[in-house]
Amino acid sequence: MKKVIVGMSGGVDSSVAAILLKEQGYQVEGLFMRNWDSSINNDILGNPNLNHAICPQEEDYNDAKKVCEKLEIPLHRIDFIQEYWENVFTYFLDELKKGRTPNPDIFCNKYIKFDAFLKEAQKLGADYVATGHYAKLENGLLLRAKDTNKDQTYFLSQVAKEQLENILFPLGEMEKSKVRKLAEKYDLVTATKKDSTGICFIGERNFKNFLKNYLPSQKGKIVNIETNEELGEHIGLMYYTIGQRRGLEIGGTKKRLFAVGKDLKKNILYVAEGDDNPYLYSSSCLVSNLNWNGEERPTECMAKFRYRDEDHPVTITYQEDGTLEVHYQDGKAITPGQACVFYLGERCLGGGIIDEVRKDGKKLWYLL
């Protein structure tokens, strides 16, 4: 009997992944990982007075334990706190300092779930490792999940093909509604549990209140990029991303305001009026930190620039330094620091990180 170690998060998806594998006749064991601990991070920062107990991970662990007891499978537990801090959280902070918009979940998959976790599962004698991701694997190639609304290949775009060997995604062919029904059938505590959203180490807490413990923020001017008129005061450039309108409700403007640029040296947030303002649009971007799931290097394919983004037809120019220039039509609020993920049909080819955004071949004003 083949042994599968399932990453148990304390949520419904990993719970049902374990059910499906057990029904298929595997020897199933669970492994719960803890990636964040506020008291240890306080020690690292040399500030024992910080008070930001983030994700209710003990509650998640207790739910994972109840599920495993119900399914009569063992549950192991491992801490990856230091690994997460070094490979994910410091990257997150560094990107914010540069004025960019990072996606730490992508690097959590690359360095924690499909690296550190994988090695620990192998120590436990795993023939396979499984997670509750919505994705499919066929002949080592990464494919979109059946449930396109839950598909998570975007977040797996930095995972190397070698890391996906002996990986199982039991939910790849399931709709989310059926996942919950199966959890209800087994009377699991996670059956009606709300899906986790946002960044794990922030959890349900206010992003601004959390972040000020790690990065000092400085208020500055909000300036209309078209008129050079000073409109108000921002609370810190790190709290805004290109295309954002929340937090920019300023009286006296006829149309909604959107963030369109940051001057890091002068600490200015530039905004423009209107959903279709030309300052929100670009025609190409430079992409680095590339990871490919396979041998194909297309010159034409589809791309996503955000998780909930639609597919954009793109053409790719391969640069001598190994980066790509990705060309598209009227890309809105495409943002440095975010992932650009490539697709051919149902295949996720891989992706990289957006370094620079351009319009008609010229670098845009997004980061000055």
What is the band of 40 on the pLDDT scale with cuts at 50, 70, 90? very low
Pair 256, 346: CB distance under 8 Å: no
User: The whole model's pTM is what?
Assistant: 0.91
b/e map of 268-290 (b: 16 or more CB within 10 Å)?
bbbbbbeeebebbbbbbbbbeeb
Residue 203, by phi and psi: left (phi above 0), alpha (psi -120 to 50) or beta? left
> How far is residue 345's CA from residue 114's CA, in Å, rounded to a whole number?
25
CA 234, 239, 242, 244 dihedral sign is negative
Instruction: Decide if 217-273 and 280-363 have a common fold.
Output: no
Which of 68, 108, 285, 340 is labelled catalytic?
A: 108
Task: Choose the weakest-confidence range: 166-175, 249-258, 350-359.
Answer: 249-258
pLDDT in tens, 60-69: 999 999 999 9
pLDDT in tens, 222-280: 999 999 999 999 999 999 999 999 889 887 777 899 999 999 999 999 999 999 999 99
Q: Which CATH homologous superfamily contains domain 280-363?
A: Translation factors (2.40.30.10)
- Is the model more confident about 56 or about 102? 102
Pair 140, 192: CB distance under 8 Å: no
Token reading at 59: 């509650």
Residue 45, by phi and psi: left (phi above 0), alpha (psi -120 to 50) or beta? alpha
342-366 mean pLDDT = 92
Which of 55, 68, 200, 348 is labelled catalytic?
A: 200
> Is a pLDDT exceeding 50 seen at residue 50?
no
User: What does pLDDT average to over the chain?
Assistant: 91
- Is 200 catalytic? The answer is yes
> How far is residue 291's CA from residue 341's CA, in Å, rounded to a whole number?
10
Q: Which fold has domain 217-273?
A: SH3 type barrels. (2.30.30)
What is the band of 195 on the pLDDT scale with cuts at 50, 70, 90? confident
Task: Sketch the domain layout of the chain as residue ranges.
Answer: 3-207, 217-273, 280-363
Percent of the chain with pLDDT over 90: 79
Query: Residue 72 phi/psi, 5° resolution?
Result: 60, 50
- Residue 48 confidence (pLDDT): 41
- Residue 53 confidence (pLDDT): 46
> Is a pLDDT exceeding 80 seen at residue 202?
no
- Residue 66 confidence (pLDDT): 97
What is the band of 43 on the pLDDT scale with cuts at 50, 70, 90? very low
> Is a pLDDT exceeding 90 seen at residue 76?
yes
Q: Which CATH homologous superfamily contains domain 3-207?
A: HUPs (3.40.50.620)
Percent of the chain with pLDDT over 70: 91
- Residue 238 confidence (pLDDT): 92
pLDDT in tens, 103-149: 999 999 999 999 999 999 999 999 999 999 999 999 999 999 999 99
- Is 285 catalytic? The answer is no
- Residue 39 confidence (pLDDT): 56
